[in-house]
Amino acid sequence: MKRNQNYSFWRLAAQCLIGSLGVALVTFVCFRLHTGAAQAALFYMIVLVLLSLTGGGFVPPLFVSIIAVLCFDYFFTTPTFSFWMDNPLDILGLSSFLATALVVTGLMSQSKRAEERVRQNEAELQQLVNAIPQQVFVFDADWSPVFANRRELEYTGLTSQEAQSKDAVARIFHPEDFKKMELLRKRMSSEGASSEMEARIRGKDGQYRWFLIRDSPLRDEQGRVIRWYGTRTDIEDRKRAEEALHKAQTLSENFFEFSPNAILVTDGNGRITKVNSELEKAFGYSRTELEGLAVETLMPERFRAVHPKHREHYGAHARVRPMGKGLELYGRRKDGAEFPVDIMLSPIGTADHPIFLCVIQDVSEKKRVEEAIRKSDEQLRNQAEQSRRELQQIIDAVPQQVFVFDADWSPLFANQRELEYTGLTAQESQSKDAVARIFHPEDFRKLEVLRERMSSEGVSSEMEARIRGKDGQYRWFLIRDNPLRDEQGRVLRWYGTRTDIEDRKRAEEALRKAQADLAHFTRIATMGEFAASIAHEVNQPISGIVINAKTCLRWLAGASPNLDEAREAARRIIRDGTRAGDIVARIRASVMRTATAKDRLDMNDAIREVVGLALDEVLRNSVILRTELADDLSPVLGDRTQLQQVVLNLVINGVQAMSTVAGRARELVIRTQNDEAEQVRVTVQDSGTGLDPQIMQHIFDPFYTTKPGGMGMGLSISRSIIQNHGGRLWAVPNEGPGTTFHFTVPKYH
């Protein structure tokens, strides 16, 4: 507020200064030009009028008027250059000038204040029009746009200038509605009447919305239209509500008329007021015949007397409910025929004007269907019981033990063979501990782990386990379980079978024993092929022992025995003896018949022992042996003797495959590496003559050989050994000469 006061003071001061300068300028010019007093007074009056037009109130013109009077007296009255006046006419003229100046400046100030109030009122009116929750617009008598309020501009996205263009309405109105608008305006212009219409107007987002448009004329005193004032009210939500209501009413009418059930409406006195076409067909009456009749007309005569009391009771406690719940209800057609019905009652009026809706369904067909279903259900139950008995007989006759568990592995069923083998009763077989009572403890623990995985993953399973029979003896069984799922994939039941594989297990054990015997024979045969090499390898440490023994005796036989040299010779004797013992031990382990003993094994060490055993044979055949053993090779789970037998067999085959090679190097490479899928791979690659693709398909068959005098069992036995270790053995031709054999064995964990 203080700031505004300072601003007003300085504004008045500036106006006073400017007015004073204007008076001074007029005085100077008029005095220099020797104009008369009348001309000077006129120019002073002009300055005062101009000053009054700048606003600022009455103070600046009053102040400047006093300055002008003083200047006029001083310069233009006699005596000149004095404020004293001798001529009474000068005093009268000066007084008239001052009065005139005050009157003019007063009138000009009052006019200025009136204009300011008009502008303020216009601004307030502008704010009011912009604040109206409608779009307001003004047109001249010829419908040229003159004004549009802010809401109109914000909705349409037009600028003030665009809103006042001649085509503004055409740009925002829907084309169909614009044509109607033009026709309406022609009629309004001719009649000078107000109007109202609904039209779609496009917003700045490009979407049309419905508006209610009202236009009213402003007339002059002669009744001529000089302006058109209008408003636009958004009625989009109302239009949508009306459309939804119309659809709902149409849907309701359609539902009533085209319902598959007979429907009637009664008033509070039980008089029929409305029926649909289905009721006409069901009862044989026309609408005109039924409207106004009592609803009892559609009932058998035996119910008509008591029904009004029931109707009055329902009217007093009206709610949506079936009529005659638990009773057999009947309707009566126009021809007197009766038929069973179901009736649903619903109040749809008010307490003052009760109206009741009655939905009637002909249940004749439903009754017939229910009777047919009852007979069919009885027949199906009989058939199901017969099928159950037959299925029970089939399951009991199946040459396997069959059982059923629920989703949590609680026993539900066991067939006759299961009960006969285990000696359990049907009740005992359904107990929670039935499985634990008959399974071998070791296998039961495996079964529990397996079932936990099956329950979490919902998958089938297969395992071998020992189950105790009623004689107390265990037999091997192959157990298979499969889930039964619902539509959501959840497990409902577990169905399983147990197949006696005791004889198969014994046969497999016999087969393994035969394979072990054959492998033992093969190892002995292989050792026979390496007899010369073995003799040479054993002969080296023995020769060293003899030489070192002689040297020791010589050092002891001297005049002064050299005990230090003798001790050193004795140590060499011990070393060579130990070496010879190790060689004999390895040969003995290779030819001994021992049971398979899988344990943690360093495959690189096992291969180095085989290389040492076969080295003489390799050198004798002029073969260059190279090993590429991985430093980070993982240990494996296997039997050292059997896996060394496989490596030795592959080395012998590689050396023999290169026996006829001439003119190029004979190379044998043994390689180890960590393979994928938790396996270790061993590779034996030769540069021999290679194998024909037809022969490659049969090299692992028993008794198939490509060597003169060969038995054809080496590769077959090697494959069996690797398969028993959980790996595989295969061969591939090299890109150059020769063949590469690979085998894998599982890593040790």
Per-residue pLDDT of 558-584, as tens digits, reads: 777 777 777 776 777 776 677 666 656
> Are 525 and 618 members of one domain?
no
Query: What pLDDT, in 10s, does the model give residues 357-392?
Result: 888 888 888 888 888 888 888 888 887 777 667 666
Full residue range of the structural domain in which residue 745 is found:
596-749
Say if 199 falls within a structural domain. yes
Reported as a pLDDT band with limits 50, 70 and 90, residue 532 is very low
SS3 label, residue 250: helix
Query: What pLDDT, in 10s, does the model give residues 70-123?
Result: 776 667 666 666 666 665 655 665 666 666 666 666 666 666 665 666 566 555
Quick one: DSSP state of residue 424? -
Query: Following DSSP, what letter does each residue of 27-81 receive, concatenated?
Result: HHHHHHHT--HHHHHHHHHHHHHHHHHT-S-SHHHHHHHHHHHHHHHHHHSSSTT
> Are 600 and 749 members of one domain?
yes
pTM of the complete model: 0.33
Handedness of CA 297, 299, 301, 302 (dihedral sign): negative
Of 568, 593, 618, which residue sits at a domain end?
593
Measured CA to CA, the distance from residue 576 to residue 584 in angstroms comes to 12
> Are 221 and 267 members of one domain?
no
Query: What pLDDT, in 10s, does the model give residues 619-652?
Result: 888 899 999 999 999 999 988 878 888 888 889 8
Extended beta strands in 288-354, E state: 321-322, 329-332, 338-347
Instruction: Give the domain CATH number at 152.
Output: 3.30.450.20
Amino acid letter for position 515: Q
Query: What pLDDT, in 10s, does the model give residues 700-721?
Result: 776 656 665 555 567 777 888 8
> Are 72 and 208 members of one domain?
no
Q: Of 23-32, 133-142, 213-222, 303-312, which range is least confident?
A: 23-32
- Nearest C-alpha neighbor of 197 from the set 171, 232, 166: 232
- Nearest C-alpha neighbor of 682 from the set 711, 712, 721, 735: 721
What are phi and psi for residue 41, nearest 5 degrees?
Answer: -60, -40
> Are 559 and 678 members of one domain?
no
Q: Which secondary structure element, helix H or strand E, spans residue 627, and what is its range?
A: strand 624-628
> How crowded is residue 377: how many other Cβ atoms within 10 Å of its Cβ?
11
Q: In Å, how far are 181, 264, 330, 331 from 364, measured between CA atoms?
A: 61, 19, 10, 11
Q: What percent of the chain shows pLDDT beyond 90?
A: 10
Reported as a pLDDT band with limits 50, 70 and 90, residue 668 is very high
> Are 145 and 207 members of one domain?
yes
Q: Which secondary structure element, helix H or strand E, spans residue 241, and what is its range?
A: helix 236-258
In Å, how far from its chain's centre is CA 515? 57
Residue 79: is the preceding peptide bond cis (ω within 30°)?
yes
Listing from the earlier edge strand, what are the strands of the sheet with 624-628? 624-628, 667-675, 679-686, 739-746, 729-733
> Are 294 and 208 members of one domain?
no
Say if 253 falls within a structural domain. no
What are phi and psi for residue 266, nearest 5 degrees?
Answer: -125, 160
Amino acid letter for position 315: G
Residue found by looking up tokens 């236009």 in the block: 215
Measured CA to CA, the distance from residue 715 to residue 541 in angstroms comes to 33
> Are 153 and 42 members of one domain?
no
User: Mean of the pLDDT values across residues 722-728?
Assistant: 88
Q: Note the pLDDT of residue 436.
A: 86
> Are 99 and 156 members of one domain?
no
Of the two residues 293 and 394, the one the predictor is more confident about is: 293
Q: Note the pLDDT of residue 72.
A: 67
Q: Are 396 and 481 contacting, i.e. CB atoms less than 8 angstroms apart? A: no
Residue found by looking up tokens 């998958």 in the block: 459
Is the pLDDT at 20 greater than 80, yes or no? no
> Are 588 and 523 members of one domain?
yes
Say if 371 falls within a structural domain. no
> Are 43 and 99 members of one domain?
yes
Q: Note the pLDDT of residue 744.
A: 93
Query: What pLDDT, in 10s, does the model give residues 182-197?
Result: 898 888 888 888 888 9
Split into its structural domains, the chain has a count of: 6
Of 500, 530, 561, which residue sits at a domain end?
500
Q: Note the pLDDT of residue 305.
A: 86
